[in-house]
Amino acid sequence: MKADRQKGAQAWRRLLLLLLLAAFAWLGLTRRAVVIATLSTLARGQWQWVTLALLLQVLFYLLYAGLYQAAFSAVDIKARLLRLLPLLFSSVFINTVAPSLGASGAVLFVEDAASHGESPARAAAAMVLVPVADATAFSVLLVAGMAYLFYQRSLHAYEVASAVILLLLNLGLTLLLLLGLSRPGALQSLLHWLQQTVNTAWQRLRHRPLLAQGWAERNASDFARAAQAIRDNGRSLLRALGLAGAANLANLASLYALFLAFHQPVAFGVLVAGFAIGVALSLVAITPQGVGVVEGGMALAYTSLGIPGPVAAAVVLGFRGLNVGLPVLAGFLLLRRNRLFARRR
């Protein structure tokens, strides 16, 4: 029976990998013109500043991997930075081909932690802490950007809606952590409802429950202890917030370097406003990583603030290529190294 389950799990992993490979091929075919336009755009920029923008993107992802490390540390899970960096790129790839508000990529981190003998519930709590820390640090830039757009009378309804949705998502994740900290019984009831819903749907396909009896109680207990650990590990929590803020600043500096690459002076308020709109749209858009929506929204924001249209389009296209395009490619190349697909036991 156990051997049959192992064979079934391996078959599901192979099928999932094939589906992801097919999704990557489809993405490459449908976005081929965008890739060519991005490379052509970056080639027209001053190479010194384009190189600096690329290096700042490397720094951004190193800092973001450090954010995951700090989040794991906050729930008493040890993880090396070099182990988390490939997972981060793979999560960017999976979130692009299978968009789900970041949940698809988070599975990689939880699975990797579980394969190292750590509690999946604690790892899940860390996955909740990462976007909370990121959104909290980014909120400073978001509020500044929105205030500048309002002052310039260039604030649009979709920009306000994106900001509100982002803040509500952050509030919901924060409440989930607080629920585990102060109301573990309510969290257990929520997970019990989730267990019943999942098992009811799964039994229609496989005629047996997917989540074993006691899953809700066990995971609610682990998650509550993880939330308690986050509260007690104040230093790790502050480190996570600091790394999230530094990562956002590195991302912003990379965008500024691209403006310089195209010989376009830009005021700090204008830079922050367009950047804030882009990040907010990328988090709430229904398209993979906000493809199409973010480029249009950022270019429109910069154009409305006085940046020439062709320059705004070139800068935004180049920035998205460095910030999303290259990491997606890196994530695809690193995917087979992930334990979810490489593991045989």
Residues 6+ apart with CB under 8 A from 189: none
pTM score of the predicted model: 0.78
Question: Is residue 186 included in any domain, yes or no?
Answer: no
pLDDT at position 109: 85
Q: Answer whether 79's CB lies under 8 Å from 68's CB.
A: yes
pLDDT (0 to 100) of residue 345: 40
The count of domains in the chain is 1
Domain span holding position 320 = 2-178+237-342
The reply to whether 102 falls in a domain is: yes
In a domain, 159, yes or no: yes
pLDDT at 252: 93
Residues in the chain: 345
Asked whether residue 192 is domain-assigned, the answer is no
Structural domain includes residue 78: yes
Query: What is the structure's pLDDT at 256?
Result: 94
d(CA 221, CA 4): 30
User: Is position 241 within any domain?
Assistant: yes
Phi, psi (deg, nearest 5) at residue 308: -55, 140
Q: Which residues of 185-194 are buried (b: 16+ CB within 10 A; e: fewer)?
A: eebbebbeee
In angstroms, the CA 136 to CA 129 distance is 10
Alpha carbons 264 and 269: distance in angstroms, whole number: 15
Give residue for tokens 């400073």. Answer: 140
Instruction: Answer yes or no: is 226 within a domain.
Output: no
**Residues of the chain under the 50 pLDDT cut:** 1-2, 8, 344-345
Two tokens, residue 238: 């502050």
Tokens encoding 200: 């009811």
